[in-house]
């Protein structure tokens, strides 16, 4: 396996705001818990410090911090708050900061807004400085783009044998690294709330597990494979392309918190669960199932939103030879993907399990 250090698993999400309803639902699902955490924390001097890791460019970055501001303001109307939005350099920072100070933003006296730019697999803020760290729909992206010998699949859920073991090891390594960084950054008594896509055991799968979105990734595989058969996509590139994601089971999420003595000492575990998404867990767009064109359009938009930049840089650009541009290949790919969704309505629906990890710094 090669893991090019200079290539991120995500390079900035495409049309993220338009296509992130599912991500926003996950954030709002946790609003009550965020309020509780802040109320329990009480008054913090010199300021309550909140960091949202992998914040993204859009409304969910506001929704992640709004309940905390609300709860703290309810108790301490004038006490200072510092909000830090943390993401990679390629995030659309201009859009984000237009939102924070816009009509739906939170800008107000005694609220200081800042950013940390880098990777959450490294330390992003000062030691012992964070009262509440959140990370939504982000930590399932691995630290690097991955090239593996994986003919027949483009994602971890359908990997077997050595390739699966290698990617699983990278995922555990990344998660452990993420936790070590947050252990340094949190203040004693501070809380880390991580929530993203999860995986559940499933005897019906040859791997023994059903990860969120399994049918969505299989739809991507089918279209990419057909296009490789027809020469649109370079077969040798496709055979080594795999999305740099891993959706953990609750057991995987808990493992380093018990086996790594530093982490076991640093954190008290409040909650580690994988549950079906409360809304439309079997098809995120089931409300549109009777309108095949709209159902397909929403799925194509969703896939572009989370996967467009990865597909472009890691599959379409390296396949762009013989006069075909990466944009041509992308257009053909999304046209076919829409066709697949329209023809097989419901077959490639996105299932959704939420992994939630809540840790208190000792
Ligand atoms: C699907 S978006 C989620 C955005 C937002 N938290 C939400 O819930 O809608 C994933 C975000 O994670 C960021 N991300 C992925 N890997 C990262 C890393 N290693 N360090 C920091 N941010 C990362 C991406 O840049 C992207 O903005």
Q: pLDDT of 236-285, one tens digit each?
A: 999 999 999 999 999 999 999 999 999 999 999 999 999 999 999 999 99
Domains, the chain, with CATH or none: 21-361 (3.40.50.150)
3-class state of residue 129 by DSSP: coil
Best residue for ligand 1 mutational test, from 88, 115, 352 (most atoms within 8 Å of Cβ): 88
Backbone angles phi, psi at 185, to 5 degrees: -80, -30
User: CA torsion sign, 139 to 127 to 254 to 258?
Assistant: positive
Q: pLDDT of 319-353, one tens digit each?
A: 998 789 999 999 999 999 999 999 999 999 999 99
Structure tokens at 227: 């296009």
Structure tokens at 47: 């300021």
Give 58's contacts (C-beta < 8 A, 6+ positions apart): 16, 17, 20, 95, 96, 99
**Which of ligand 1's atoms lies nearest the C-alpha of 12?**
25
> From CA 91, how far away is CA 359, in angstroms rounded?
27
For residue 46, whether the previous peptide bond is cis, meaning omega lies within 30 degrees of 0, is: yes
CA distances from 12 to 55, 88, 220, 285, 311 (A): 11, 8, 19, 24, 12
Largest CA-CA distance found in the chain, in angstroms, rounded: 64
What is the structure's pLDDT at 227? 98
What is the structure's pLDDT at 15? 55
pTM above 0.95, yes or no: no
For the chain, list residues with pLDDT below 70. 1-20
What is the structure's pLDDT at 358? 98
Q: What radius of gyration do the chain's Cα atoms show?
A: 21
Best residue for ligand 1 mutational test, from 25, 54, 95, 136 (most atoms within 8 Å of Cβ): 54
């Amino acid at each position: 396996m090669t893991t090019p250090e200079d290539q991120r698993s995500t390079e900035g999400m495409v049309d993220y705001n338009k296509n992130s309803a599912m991500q926003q639902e996950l954030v709002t699902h946790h609003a009550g818990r965020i309020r509780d955490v802040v109320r329990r924390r009480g008054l913090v001097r010199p300021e309550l410090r909140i960091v949202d890791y992998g914040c993204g460019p859009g409304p969910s970055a506001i929704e992640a911090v709004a309940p905390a501001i609300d709860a703290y303001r309810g108790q301490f109307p004038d006490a200072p708050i510092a909000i830090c939005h943390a993401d990679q350099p390629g995030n659309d920072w201009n859009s984000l900061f237009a939102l924070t100070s816009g009509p739906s933003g939170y800008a107000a006296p005694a609220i200081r807004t800042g950013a940390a730019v880098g990777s959450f697999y490294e330390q992003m803020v000062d030691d012992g400085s964070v009262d509440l760290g959140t990370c939504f729909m982000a930590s399932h992206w691995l630290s690097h783009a991955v090239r593996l010998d994986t003919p027949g699949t483009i994602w971890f859920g359908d990997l077997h044998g050595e390739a699966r073991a290698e990617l699983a090891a990278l995922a555990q390594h990344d998660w452990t690294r993420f936790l070590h960084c947050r252990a340094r950054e949190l203040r004693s008594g501070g809380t880390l709330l991580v929530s993203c896509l999860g995986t559940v055991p499933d005897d019906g799968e040859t791997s023994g597990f059903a990860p969120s979105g399994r049918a969505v990734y299989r739809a991507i595989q089918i279209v990419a494979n057909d296009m490789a058969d027809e020469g649109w996509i370079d077969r040798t590139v496709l055979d080594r392309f795999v999305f740099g994601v891993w959706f953990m089971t609750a057991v995987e999420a808990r493992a380093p918190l018990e086996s790594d003595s530093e982490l076991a000492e640093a954190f008290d575990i409040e909650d580690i669960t994988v549950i079906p998404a409360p809304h439309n867990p079997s098809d995120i767009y089931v409300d549109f199932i009777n309108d095949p064109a709209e159902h397909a359009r929403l799925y194509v938009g969703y896939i572009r939103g989370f996967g467009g930049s990865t597909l472009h840089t890691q599959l379409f650009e390296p396949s762009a030879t013989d006069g075909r541009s990466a944009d041509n290949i992308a257009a053909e790919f999304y046209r076919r993907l829409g066709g697949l969704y329209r023809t097989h309505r419901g077959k490639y629906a996105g299932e959704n399990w939420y992994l939630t990890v809540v840790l208190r710094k000792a």
